[in-house]
Amino acid sequence: MLQKSLSIGLVQQKDYGSREQNLENCIQGVREACGRGARLILLQELHNSRYFCQHEDPELFDLAEPVPGPTTEQLAVLAAELEVVIVASLFERRAAGLYHNTAVVLESDGTLAGIYRKKHIPDDPGFYEKFYFAPGDGPFSPIQTSIGRLGVLICWDQWFPEAARLMALSGAEILLYPTAIGWDPGDGAAEQQRQFDAWQTVQRGHAIANGLPLVACNRTGFETDPSGVTSGIQFWGGSFICGPQGEMLAQAKQNETQVVLAKIDLQHSEKVRRIWPFLRDRRIDSYAPLLQLFNDPQNS
């Protein structure tokens, strides 16, 4: 059983040009969040580097590292020193020619509580992730920690209700998403607002549909496309924490590095699920078509 309340921190950062500087700024952000009372701290997707997936370059595989490895070792020492749980995001080298976009959970005693390898891998202009990452082959399984069972997912996973649902059905008590998403600078203001609203709304919907608090940590700042093919990405920040009814508890600004905190009531999910018993009323006898990629009308 979770404790009654939990303070959660988000560390929203931009790219500072090197692994060492990026990680140092993340560490300082963790220290700030801890100093303000956070016991669970989430970092953004691929926080050690720029978002390198804007173009395809085999030499960029050199950015990857094993898990456990150098970054997990540094963050493990930090987690044990501060007695906090840290959720970090790394480019993992699992084996020669096998790489993943991986979230790691460091327990408050410095041990590696578990990992999650991103399952939904995009392949779009400026987001060429299929070139770099194999999809995770593990289940949608929460990671047990001293502060509860964490349903950790990553970025593109955030658009898929199935992923959040399966985490909830497996006993997740909080949903967490490290992410890296932003605008094409060529899009107009109205289109940019639609995209941001959709990103936030779909995740708040996951919180509501599953009766769980949700935490999303995005990166911020403009990053160029080194290939020059696209006009780069303006990462929109906007990291946020919401409750199990989608209520906004805290939100970072869009264009600033920022450490944001919120305290969540860990008993509220129980109350919400009693009045909105979505899990009780699921018609699992009717959901078999979900296992098809698409239900072609002519075959119905």
**Strand pairing class (174-179; 214-218):** parallel
Tell me the C-alpha distance between 119 and 238, whole Å: 23
Pair 86, 43: CB distance under 8 Å: yes
* Tokens at 51, concatenated: 């978002």
Tell me the C-alpha distance between 251 and 188, whole Å: 23
118 is catalytic: yes
Tell me the C-alpha distance between 94 and 91, whole Å: 10
**Number of Cβ atoms within 10 Å of the Cβ of 74:** 16
DSSP per-residue letters across 140-202: S-PEEETTEEEEE--GGGGG-HHHHHHHHHTT-SEEEEEE--EE-TTS-HHHHHHHHHHHHHH
Which residue in 26, 92, 118, 223 is the catalytic one?
118
For the chain, the first-to-last Cα distance in angstroms comes to 45
H runs (alpha helix) in the chain? 19-35, 70-82, 161-169, 189-210, 268-275
173 is catalytic: no
* Tokens at 181, concatenated: 């998403």
**Strand pairing class (240-242; 98-106):** unpaired
Pair 245, 212: CB distance under 8 Å: no
Which residue in 26, 53, 155, 242 is the catalytic one?
155
Which residue in 26, 45, 217, 242 is the catalytic one?
45
* Tokens at 142, concatenated: 């929460």
Could you give the residue numbers annotated as active site? 45, 118, 155
